Amino acid sequence: MPLLEFKGITKDYKLGKTVVRALRGLDLTIKEGEVIAIMGPSGSGKSTLMHIVGALDTPTGGTAFLDGQDLQQLKERQLVTLRGKKVGFVFQTFNLIQTLSAQRNVELPMIFQGIRKGERARHARELLTKVGLADRVKHKPNELSGGERQRVAIARALANDPEIILADEPTGNLDTESGTPVLEMLKKLSVEDGKTVIIVTHDPDAAAIADRIVRLRDGCVVAGSGYEGEGTSGVPSAGRDVEGSSLEPSTLGITTEGSDSHA
């Protein structure tokens, strides 16, 4: 059973008097442990899809199952629990809380789950060590470099040990030098910890670490809507967006390596 199964998802927004149809019958299945890159021009519905996957928003129509739960049947409270426990967010602009130290930022999701102080602090330091910031725990976000901030954000996303990491343009505000470790880290989460990583990106480097690229256009998936072996489509390489094309996997070794992990 796939971790995530979306069928015919639609999402309409009201913007004043006009209705914006952000998603128009989107199909997508993702299985556990995959690294997915969601690509597409702006306005194609990437962010909307991301919000729905992250339980920040609910679809207008279609069926959406996340880990066996029907998102449309969930009440607000249950959605909160879902995004608190099952999903970790990484944002383009880091979105760390400026008044809190790196450690406290990582502790924040645990606070809302009612985890006790000592346990929280220990786990937060552990996670910061994991992302290579053991010596930065007491620093405030404005004392950290962009790459470091994004790594704090990754640590925060991991705080409640979620199954899915949602990264929205994680390298969008970073140069290649600081972006690469961030991408490596995300890849590692899939390979070593079996997390499902979904990256919304324009960045070909980010797409390159993905097991599969899902291409969106005008609110529909035009390529990569299903995982390998499920029979819907293969793994298209970066730069192509033809639906159903079954091209060779990416030439990057890292992708092949990632594919092995769930083969």
Partner 1 sequence: MLKDFLVLAGQSIMHRRMRSWLTVIGVFIGITAVVALISIGLGLERTITDQVASVFGVDAFIIMNEDTFGPQAHRPGGAEEYALDLSTLRAVEGVKVAAAVRERTGFVQGPPRSDGTPLQGFFPVSGLSPELITEFESFIGELEVQKGGRLFEVGEEAVTVLGSEIAKRFQASVGETVLVVGEGSAELSLTVVGILVPVEEDEESRGGFAAGMNQSQNQDTIYVPYETMDLLWGPAKDVLITVVRVNPGEDVDKVADRAEETLNARGSEISAVTYTDISEVIGTMTSTISAFLAGIAGISLLVGGVGVMNTMFTSVLERTKEIGVMKAVGAKNSHVLTIFLIESGLMGLVGGIVGTLLGLGLSAAASLFIGRFFGVKMAVVANPTLILSTLVCSFGIGAIAGLWPAWRAAKLPVVDALRYE
The footprint of partner 1 (CB under 8 A) covers 51, 54, 56-57, 76-77, 80-81, 83-85, 88-89, 91, 95, 97-100, 108-109, 111-114, 117, 156, 159-160
| C-beta closer to partner 1: residue 12 or 243 | 12
| C-beta closer to partner 1: residue 157 or 207 | 157
Shortest distance in whole angstroms from residue 80 CB to partner 1: 5
Task: Compute the Cα dihedral for 184, 185, 191, 194 and give only its sign.
Answer: negative
User: Which residues are CB-contacts of 85 (< 8 A; sequence separation ≥ 6)?
Assistant: 113, 160, 162
Shortest distance in whole angstroms from residue 39 CB to partner 1: 20
Shortest distance in whole angstroms from residue 57 CB to partner 1: 5
| C-beta closer to partner 1: residue 25 or 91 | 91
* Alpha-carbon gap, residue 225 to 219, rounded angstroms: 13
Instruction: Report residue 160 as tokens.
Output: 């409640």
| C-beta closer to partner 1: residue 76 or 135 | 76
Shortest distance in whole angstroms from residue 251 CB to partner 1: 35
| C-beta closer to partner 1: residue 18 or 99 | 99
Shortest distance in whole angstroms from residue 76 CB to partner 1: 8
CA triple 198-202-206, angle to 5 deg: 55
* Alpha-carbon gap, residue 125 to 103, rounded angstroms: 7
Which single residue is written with the structure tokens 């390529």?
223
Helix extents (H) in the chain: 46-53, 76-85, 102-112, 117-130, 146-157, 176-193, 204-208, 253-261
